[in-house]
Amino acid sequence: MSVDLMRNFVNGEFVDEGRKVTITSPVDGKPVSEVILADKKSTMEAIDSAYEAYYRSWAETTVRERQALLSKLARLVQEKSNEYALMESINTGKTLRQSMLMDIPLGISHIEYFAGTDEFKFSREITHPEYPDTRGIVQNAPMGVVGAIAPWNVPFLMAVWKIAPAVLAGNTIVLKPSHHTPMTALNLAKDIRDTGFPPGVINIVAGTGSEVGNTICTDDRVSMVSFTGSTATGKKVMSMASESLKKVTLELGGKSPNIVLPDADLDHAAKGILFGIFLNSGQLCESGSRLIVHSSVREKLIGRMTEHLKNMKAGNPMDMETEISAITTGDQLKKIGSLVREGESQGARILYQRELGESVPEGGFYFPPTILDNVTDAMTVAKEEIFGPVLAVSEFKSADEAVRIANSSKYGLASGVWTRDMKAAFDIGSRIEAGTVWINEYHMLSAAAPRGGFKKSGTGRELGLEGILEYTQTRHLFINEKESDFDRVAYGLIISDQDQ
């Protein structure tokens, strides 16, 4: 697949300002497209246009009008879903299977969710118990211009998760996809234009963090930054945004545990744990990168996992049958290798490594799915996010110990519990410090379910009603419909008839 020059989308038009770069595919190292990376000037123009569009008209539109546009956008993307899937895989190296069956259809269904939800109410009525003759209206007012910054691992889903709830809540937006993987977000801009969103409501500027990201975080007209990326960059974003007191939501890294109890359906758990860590070659924030298994079933479970792993199809990710993804960037490939070597030097042992050999295309970036054991809490491979296909195994003897190990991480994004005992699942699940707990499942993303992190995995939520409300600020209207009633008011209190 080769794609024409891709440009940034500012004020409803594709613009040429910036620096032209060649995008090569991690699948085989071959060039696939040229992209204009935005510079500071074009980013400022995107912010100008979002600011003007917000005050010109967008904030005044109704929720229904915004939903009608989102619904049309979902239809247009659906018509080209195969094109999006090909583009997503060639740019990120994820398997075509995953793009076709997961990322793109899920993204479309998430646009549809925001287009159809009636959970989000712009306002609600309240009464004031202190002032019985008055009434109140609480409004979920938009923030204004939202700056959204996305990572390289799930570019299409990220673009949807930022754009759809932000515009639904009445904001305008400047989205910065990662400069490594800008293709599907820039392609989405074409469908946004064809949908008929007013110019300036949605702007997409691909570029580097130091240039485009910094500009978004420091411009005074941006009221909120919705950031997804690493914990280290999240800290910088929060610090930059604090200068102009922006609201910030942070969806950051993870080191998510999967706890397997002795009564679990081991075959189901084995497949789920492999899916949890090796989907997208472990390059997902929520990847289940730690396995915490009861010592009585450890051998059996690992045996089943290696059996399944051997049978997973390796090869060209663009082949629909292939199940093992590439690594998206060369730097990430090096980082994974060096963390695994560091683990070994600290005493971890490679329990199993699935050889890929010559089955994968030459010139691409690949790391063999790896299972490490002898892992202790203190090791780097147990503590730090590897963001690659590497699973660290530890074992436990009691439920308390399992919860202690699960919560020993500084992160708290996601987790899994595998058992047939629903009471145990609920008890353990309710003690895990993580924004999502899957029970006998993993990676099941629902647009209706808020997701986000405890601890260093972030602050704020994405998706669901909570996710929409992040893009709002609260306004309270206090209403007294009685004519001259001031005689009864003293120091903010109503004087009752008895007091008079």
Which residues have a catalytic role annotated? 251, 285
State which of residues 26, 142, 253, 361 lies at the interface with ligand NAD (CB under 6 A).
Answer: 253
Q: Which stretch binds ligand NAD (CB under 6 A): 5-13, 36-44, 210-218, 471-479?
A: 210-218
Residues 306-345 that bind ligand NAD (CB under 6 A): none
Count of chain residues binding ligand NAD (CB under 6 A): 30
Beta strands 145-149 and 135-142: pairing type? Answer: unpaired
Q: How many helices (H) and strands (E) does the chain have?
A: 16, 25
Whole-number Å distance between alpha carbons of 415 and 435: 8
Beta strands 414-418 and 436-439: pairing type? Answer: parallel
Element (H, E) at 241: helix 231-242
152 is a site residue for ligand NAD (CB under 6 A): yes
State which of residues 153, 249, 289, 325 lies at the interface with ligand NAD (CB under 6 A).
Answer: 153
Q: Which stretch binds ligand NAD (CB under 6 A): 118-126, 167-175, 231-239, 291-299?
A: 231-239
Tell me the CA distances in angstroms from 85 to 5, 34, 78, 100, 287, one per residue in order.
18, 18, 11, 5, 21
Distance of closest approach, residue 256 Cβ to ligand NAD, in angstroms = 10
> What is the side-by-side order of every strand in the sheet holding 222-228?
13-15, 8-10, 202-204, 172-176, 145-149, 222-228, 247-251, 458-459
Which is nearer to ligand NAD, 253 or 343 (by Cβ)?
Answer: 253
Residues 274-303 that bind ligand NAD (CB under 6 A): 285
166 is a site residue for ligand NAD (CB under 6 A): no
Whole-number Å distance between alpha carbons of 189 and 174: 12
Whole-number Å distance between alpha carbons of 63 and 213: 29
Which is nearer to ligand NAD, 11 or 208 (by Cβ)?
Answer: 208
3-state secondary structure (DSSP) of residue 314: coil
β-bridge partners, 437: 415
Neighbour count for residue 115 (Cβ, 10 Å): 19
Nearest one of 50, 107, 99 to 78, comparing CA atoms: 107
Distance of closest approach, residue 234 Cβ to ligand NAD, in angstroms = 7
Q: 369-408 mask for ligand NAD (x: CB under 6 A)? A: ----------------x-x---------------------
Whole-number Å distance between alpha carbons of 474 and 496: 30
Neighbour count for residue 110 (Cβ, 10 Å): 21
Place of tokens 């929409």: 468
Which is nearer to ligand NAD, 44 or 264 (by Cβ)?
Answer: 44
217 is a site residue for ligand NAD (CB under 6 A): yes
C-alpha angle 472-171-179 in degrees, rounded to nearest 5: 110
Q: Which stretch binds ligand NAD (CB under 6 A): 60-68, 207-215, 334-342, 463-471?
A: 207-215
DSSP state of 487: G
Q: Which stretch binds ligand NAD (CB under 6 A): 72-80, 204-212, 291-299, 400-408?
A: 204-212
39 is a site residue for ligand NAD (CB under 6 A): no
Contact between 47 and 202 (Cβ < 8 Å): no
Cα dihedral 89→90→93→96 (10° resolution)? 30
State which of residues 209, 262, 315, 337 lies at the interface with ligand NAD (CB under 6 A).
Answer: 209
Contacts of 334 (CB under 8 A, 6+ apart): none
Which is nearer to ligand NAD, 68 or 445 (by Cβ)?
Answer: 445
State which of residues 251, 384, 395, 470 lies at the interface with ligand NAD (CB under 6 A).
Answer: 251
Distance of closest approach, residue 475 Cβ to ligand NAD, in angstroms = 29
254 is a site residue for ligand NAD (CB under 6 A): yes
Contact between 184 and 224 (Cβ < 8 Å): no
Neighbour count for residue 334 (Cβ, 10 Å): 13
Distance of closest approach, residue 473 Cβ to ligand NAD, in angstroms = 22
Structure tokens at 268: 């189901």
Distance of closest approach, residue 330 Cβ to ligand NAD, in angstroms = 13
Q: 435-474 mask for ligand NAD (x: CB under 6 A)? A: ------------------x----x----------------
Q: Which stretch binds ligand NAD (CB under 6 A): 21-29, 163-171, 250-258, 334-342?
A: 250-258
Contacts of 468 (CB under 8 A, 6+ apart): 114, 117, 119, 120, 165, 168, 169
State which of residues 61, 134, 139, 214 lies at the interface with ligand NAD (CB under 6 A).
Answer: 214
248 is a site residue for ligand NAD (CB under 6 A): no
159 is a site residue for ligand NAD (CB under 6 A): no
Given the rule CB under 6 A, which residues bind ligand NAD?
149-154, 176, 178, 208-210, 213-214, 217, 228-230, 233, 236-237, 251-254, 285, 385, 387, 413, 453, 458
